[in-house]
Structure 1
């Protein structure tokens, strides 16, 4: 696949922006609550940014970056699965 360098760079910056947004969200929520909190948006930004950066790494043919982003996506998705499972269990009457 031949992607023009400008679009490849723009796509990479988009992924990095999404990935970085998770820290801003986490910081703002923690400040508002006065304690360290990891909101759901953190994990969604992690998945979105990680997925875009994974595609970027594949397009750049960078195996180190590809493996790193793929491994991160497994962790982010697993955290979302665990959170949703816990919320579903809490919503069921005892």
Structure 2
């Protein structure tokens, strides 16, 4: 598998995970009849962001890497604020 193909697969999986976190939040919020942001939302965000960092590295795109590193830090902080043991 070429590097370009690998990057595209990683990017696609990452985008699918980013989309799934929104669906997860929507379903849980609808069931609770109030807005929720479950811990799993942030954990999926972390995984997605990590994959996007890999994607950015494989594509040699410093903008993607930088933006995802910033997002990754935010996701970790949100998990810390929720007390999810992500220290």
Q: TM-score, normalised by structure 2?
A: 0.88
The count of residues paired between Structure 1 and Structure 2 equals 83
Structure 1 unmatched ranges of 5 or more: 86-94
Q: What does 1:42-61 align with in structure 2 at a 5 Å threshold? A: 42-61=41-60
| Coordinate RMSD, CA, aligned | 1.2
Query: In structure 1, what is the equivalent of residue 71 of structure 2?
Result: 72
Structure 2 unmatched ranges of 5 or more: none
In 2: Cα distance, 1:62 partner to 1:12 partner: 13
Q: TM-score, normalised by structure 1?
A: 0.82
How far is the alpha carbon of 1:18 from its aligned partner? Answer: 1.2
- Whether the aligned pair in 1 keeps the contact of 2:10 and 2:51 (CA below 8 Å) is yes
State the structure with more CA Rg.
1
Query: In structure 2, what is the equivalent of residue 30 of structure 1?
Result: 29
